[in-house]
């Protein structure tokens, strides 16, 4: 595997696997630093293709295309965590890849992720492996109250999830997943959701943004607000959780830790996202160094930037047909549109961030 040597100098090329809005915003951030980007995507209409002259189209498991991609890049990163493990390994033999295969392998699978978090001594919802309908029933029996059955891999925006209130429902939900390995989690009656977006540099440097409070609608993020309702002690605790996770994964780049804030104030780790995160989009306007620039800095082996927040901010997603109101939205704040042509229901089309003077 290629190890990290000297930083990628200005003029070098960062490869980004995945050309959606996250890849697009990463490419825009890299450009500010004088770095070029090459986008690898499996379809020709990737939003990120609009912001760089360098792109490659190929399946995510096409080892020849990935080798060609590695050849033109000085470092490679990802906008999503679900690249097949052998494809990541293939890249990592040829070019510096961050985050690394180990971090991706653990966070790709809800069971290995939750097990990893538990071993660190961090709190999570109770969870049980489910690989059969019988196991689903048994696991439900161990819960106190309701549960959520989730596929172990490839879930996002609520896809591959079902809330279950009985052993019978748990078994049925498992069958609806058509054999996909699953995990049953105890339902957490939390007070609200928060997240920490943080970065870890190749040398172990750590920088966390202020944790936003997050609201979801139909399993899709609607709104992130900073400052959150977390007390200063909870904020510190959230950042400590992120640091423990980043260190244990020997992580390089930006990652997010989604948290449930329990009714008693306790912080439970819900999920780790090994990438820039929707709940960190507000950092573009409210911080000197955005999560996108921070990730590029880490991947390129540059010093991390300052994550200090100099304004209060509310970030709202623009979903599906809401994007048709772009002109009105442009009046209300910093509008970001992702260059997607079709405003399908549930599709993230853009976001808008509104700043207020910081209320210390």
Question: How near is the Cβ of 12 to its own copies at its closest, in Å?
Answer: 11
Instruction: List, in order, residues 6 or more apart from 300 with CB less than 8 Å away.
Output: 7, 8, 12, 14, 30, 33, 35, 74, 75
Residue 11 lies near its own copies (rule: CB under 8 A): yes
- Whichever of 222 and 358 has its CB closer to its own copies, that residue is 358
Q: Please state, in angstroms and rounded to a whole number, the distance separating the CA atoms of residues 85 and 260.
A: 29
Question: How near is the Cβ of 33 to its own copies at its closest, in Å?
Answer: 6
Nearest to 347 by CA among 18, 16, 21, 17: 21
Question: How near is the Cβ of 346 to its own copies at its closest, in Å?
Answer: 18
Instruction: List, in order, residues 6 or more apart from 173 with CB less than 8 Å away.
Output: 136, 149, 162, 164
For Cα atoms 348, 353, 356, give the angle at the middle one, nearest 5 degrees.
Answer: 160
Burial label for 101, CB within 10 Å (0-12, 13-18, 19+), is middle
Residue 143 lies near its own copies (rule: CB under 8 A): no
Residue 133 lies near its own copies (rule: CB under 8 A): no
> With helix as H, strand as E and coil as C, how does 107-167 read?
HHCHHHHHHHHHHCCCCECCEEEECCHHHHHHHHHHCCCCEEEEECCCCCCCCCEEEECCH
- Whichever of 159 and 358 has its CB closer to its own copies, that residue is 358
Residue 289 lies near its own copies (rule: CB under 8 A): yes
Give the tokens for residue 177. Answer: 């997943």
Question: How near is the Cβ of 215 to its own copies at its closest, in Å?
Answer: 22
Enumerate residues 184-223 that contact its own copies by CB under 8 A.
Answer: none
Residue 326 lies near its own copies (rule: CB under 8 A): yes
Residue 279 lies near its own copies (rule: CB under 8 A): no
Contacting residue, 145, 331, 345, 359, with its own copies by CB under 8 A: 331
Instruction: List, in order, residues 6 or more apart from 212 with CB less than 8 Å away.
Output: 194, 195, 224, 225, 226, 228, 279, 280, 282, 315
Residue 52 lies near its own copies (rule: CB under 8 A): yes
Give the tokens for residue 150. Answer: 């989730």
- Classify the phi-psi angles of 160: left when phi > 0, otherwise alpha if psi is within -120 to 50, otherwise beta: left
- Whichever of 114 and 340 has its CB closer to its own copies, that residue is 340
Residue 333 lies near its own copies (rule: CB under 8 A): yes
Question: How near is the Cβ of 44 to its own copies at its closest, in Å?
Answer: 12
Sole window of 126-134, 154-162, 251-259, 347-355 interacting with its own copies (rule: CB under 8 A): 347-355
Residue 341 lies near its own copies (rule: CB under 8 A): yes
C-beta atoms surrounding 342 within 10 Å: 9
Residue 32 lies near its own copies (rule: CB under 8 A): yes
Contacting residue, 168, 231, 288, 346, with its own copies by CB under 8 A: 288
- Whichever of 186 and 201 has its CB closer to its own copies, that residue is 201
Nearest to 272 by CA among 256, 248, 253, 261: 256
Residue 339 lies near its own copies (rule: CB under 8 A): yes
- Whichever of 136 and 298 has its CB closer to its own copies, that residue is 298
Q: What are phi and psi of 77, to 5 degrees?
A: -140, -175
- Whichever of 128 and 209 has its CB closer to its own copies, that residue is 209
Any idea which residue has 């052998």 for tokens?
Answer: 86
Residue 291 lies near its own copies (rule: CB under 8 A): no
Sole window of 71-79, 83-91, 131-139, 335-343 interacting with its own copies (rule: CB under 8 A): 335-343
Q: Please state, in angstroms and rounded to a whole number, the distance separating the CA atoms of residues 124 and 13.
A: 39
Which residues of the shown chain bind its own copies in the complex (CB under 8 A)?
A: 7, 9-11, 24, 28, 31-34, 36, 49-53, 55, 285, 288-289, 293, 297, 302-303, 305-306, 310-311, 323, 326-327, 330-331, 333-339, 341, 350, 353-355, 357-358
């Amino acid at each position: 595997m290629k190890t990290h040597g000297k930083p990628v100098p200005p003029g070098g090329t960062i490869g980004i696997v995945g050309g959606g809005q996250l890849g697009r915003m990463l490419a825009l951030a890299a450009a500010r630093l004088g770095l070029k980007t090459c986008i690898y995507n499996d379809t020709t209409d990737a939003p990120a293709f609009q912001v760089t002259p360098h792109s490659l189209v190929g399946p995510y498991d096409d080892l020849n295309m990935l080798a060609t991609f590695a050849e033109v890049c000085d470092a490679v990163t990802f906008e999503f965590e679900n690249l097949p493990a052998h494809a990541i390994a293939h890249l990592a033999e040829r070019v510096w890849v961050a985050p690394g295969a180990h971090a991706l392998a653990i966070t790709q699978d809800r069971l290995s992720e939750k097990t990893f978090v538990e071993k660190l001594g961090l709190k999570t919802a109770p969870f049980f492996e489910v690989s059969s309908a019988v196991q689903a029933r048994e696991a439900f029996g161990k819960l106190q109250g309701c549960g959520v059955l989730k596929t172990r891999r490839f879930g996002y925006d609520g896809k591959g999830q079902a809330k279950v209130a009985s052993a019978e429902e748990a078994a049925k939900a498992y069958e609806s997943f058509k054999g996909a390995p699953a995990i049953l989690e105890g339902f957490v009656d939390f007070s609200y959701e928060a997240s920490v977006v943080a970065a870890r540099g190749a040398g172990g440097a750590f920088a966390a943004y202020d944790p936003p409070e997050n609201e979801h609608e139909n399993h899709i993020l609607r709104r992130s607000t900073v400052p959150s309702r977390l007390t200063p002690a909870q904020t510190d605790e959230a950042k400590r959780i992120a640091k423990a996770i980043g260190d244990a994964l020997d992580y390089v780049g930006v990652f997010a830790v989604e948290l449930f804030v329990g009714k008693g104030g306790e912080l439970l780790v819900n999920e780790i996202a090994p990438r820039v995160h929707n709940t960190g989009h507000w950092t573009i306007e409210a911080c000197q160094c955005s999560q996108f620039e921070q990730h590029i800095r880490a991947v390129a082996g540059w010093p991390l930037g300052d994550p200090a927040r100099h304004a209060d901010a509310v970030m709202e997603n623009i979903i599906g047909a809401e994007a048709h109101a772009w002109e009105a939205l442009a009046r209300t704040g910093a509008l970001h549109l992702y260059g997607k042509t079709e405003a399908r229901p549930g599709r993230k089309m853009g976001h808008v961030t509104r700043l207020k003077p910081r209320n210390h």
